[in-house]
Amino acid sequence: MTLEAKPVPIPAVGIVCFNDDGHVLLIRRGNPPRQGEWSMPGGKLEWGEKVTDAALRELAEETGVTAEIISLIDVVDGIFTSRTMGNVTRHYVLIDYVARYLSGTLAAGDDASEARFVALETLETYGLWEETTRIIHAGHLLWRAAHTNV
């Protein structure tokens, strides 16, 4: 009897990084999936890597900046289906953190084609996935609480 390998969810991280002005860092994806769309920096965990290390690594690779993790925001299922067949094509378990910008010159890198800090009141102009917008606003509350205590 042969067992067929079943697909499994892929663990990934996202990082909602705020600068001292309260602007959030967004990247435009340079590669599939979601190529050309705006999102927060993030990506897949590497074997043996801690999730917080992965979040900071992805931030540095995609934007050139370093940050300090403040808190976990949420864990979200990113389940994507085929447009034609409706079957699940990708399933990510997204572990999202909020962070405070520390240093670095902002520049798109790795799989990002653009990177910029944006004001929260302009988020609707970036066509974000509604779950990304929710996570950013939840992260802003945590950032603001930590920022006022600094």
Distance in angstroms (rounded) separating the CA atoms of residues 66 and 58? 10
Show pLDDT as tens, one digit a residue, over the chain (150 residues). Answer: 566 667 889 999 999 999 999 999 999 998 877 789 999 999 999 999 999 999 999 999 999 999 999 999 999 998 888 778 778 888 899 999 999 999 999 999 878 899 999 999 999 999 999 999 999 999 999 999 998 865
| 114 in catalytic set | yes
| E-state strands within the chain | 10-18, 24-29, 38-39, 42-44, 66-81, 88-103, 112-118
H/E run at residue 127: none
What is the reported pTM?
A: 0.90
**Interval 23-67: pLDDT, tens:** 999 999 988 777 899 999 999 999 999 999 999 999 999 999 999
Domain 10-148 has CATH 3.90.79.10: yes
Question: Torsions phi, psi of 90, nearest 5?
Answer: -145, 145
Q: Choosing from 37, 61, 114, 131, which is the catalytic residue?
A: 114
- pLDDT, residue 54, reads 98
